[in-house]
Each structure stands twice: as structure tokens, then as C-alpha cells.
Structure 1
């Protein structure tokens, strides 16, 4: 488990990136490699951040596999709300 402001910044940036790719559509499947293109997190970091965000109910894993362990995700309604909150602050 990662605790602290550094992790907080990472999950916020990733959630913002997911929100950008989702275009306010909770059914849109987003490739994890596309999200990570701008973030450049390593395999372990992105796995931990995605699992944390899923645990919070902000994203859902749709496919598993590939170089980043997860293939595709979707954002939830709760995730969209949090993303909007983060972009306003």
C-alpha cells in the first residue's frame, strides 16, 4: 500500500487522464497504454494506482493482460464526478 501526497498526485493525474479519454462516457473502454502514454508510470506503479482507483469505485477493469498488466478500463459515474472536482480545483 502506498500512502502519502506523492501517491495522491499520481492517482489524481491518472484519473484526470482517464476522464479525458472517456469523454464523459462511462461505457467507453479505454486502453491503459493510451492513458500511460502521457504519464510514463512503470508497470508496478500503474497497477497499484489502478487497483486503488478501482477500490474507490472510480474505475472498472474491463480486460487484463498486456505489458501494463491491465488492458482496458472504464470510468464510473463516481469517477467522472471526482474527475470534474479535480479539474475545478
Structure 2
């Protein structure tokens, strides 16, 4: 697992991508497979990033299953606000 700056940069990239893919709608379920196709992440790194972002209440795990453990995720209102700061 990456720790420190690299991990935080990956988390920011993931959150910003999720914001775009959800079109700033916290009700939109974004397939995790689509996130992976845009980012170069392995399964363990992705799992750690998603759990980190969920723990900070920036995303919500919407479904479990599929090749990446989680099937869909949703960005929260807090996540949208945080992602807007990265622009």
C-alpha cells in the first residue's frame, strides 16, 4: 500500500474522476470497473483507496461484488465539495 503523498495524490485523482463520472450527482452509482479503466490501479490499492475515501465520508460503497470487490460507488455531497477544491 502506498503511504503519504503518493497515496493522497491517488485518492485525489480517484475522487476527481468520480466527481466527473457522476456529474456531481450523489445519487449516481458509478461502476468501479469504469474507474479502474481510467486509472492505473491494482485491486489492493483500489480497495484501500475506496475504503479510505469512504472512511472520510467522501464516497459511499453502493454495491459489493465483481472483479474489484466493490461493484459501484457514489460520491457524497462532502466528496463533491472536496473534489471541487482540486480544480
Q: TM-score, normalised by structure 2?
A: 0.95
Distance in 2 separating the partners of 1:40 and 1:67 = 15
CA distance in structure 2 between the aligned counterparts of 1:20 and 1:40, rounded to whole angstroms = 17
Match of residue 85 from structure 1: 85
* RMSD of equivalent CA atoms: 1.1
Say which SS state the counterpart of residue 48 (structure 1) adopts: helix
* Residue 77 (structure 2) pairs with residue 58 (structure 1): no
Q: CA shift at 1:2, angstroms?
A: 4.8
In structure 1, stretches of 5+ residues that fail to align are none
Answer 1 or 2: which has greater helix percent.
Answer: 1
Structure 1 stretches of 4+ with a deviation exceeding 2 A read: none
Structure 2 contact 2–45 (Cα < 8 Å) conserved? no
Structure 1 length-normalised TM: 0.93
Aligned equivalent of 1:31? 31
Equivalent in the alignment of 2:14: 14
Deviations 1:13-56 (A, max 9, x none): 00011001010100001000101111020000000000000000
Unaligned 5+ runs, structure 2: none
Matched, 1:76 2:76: yes
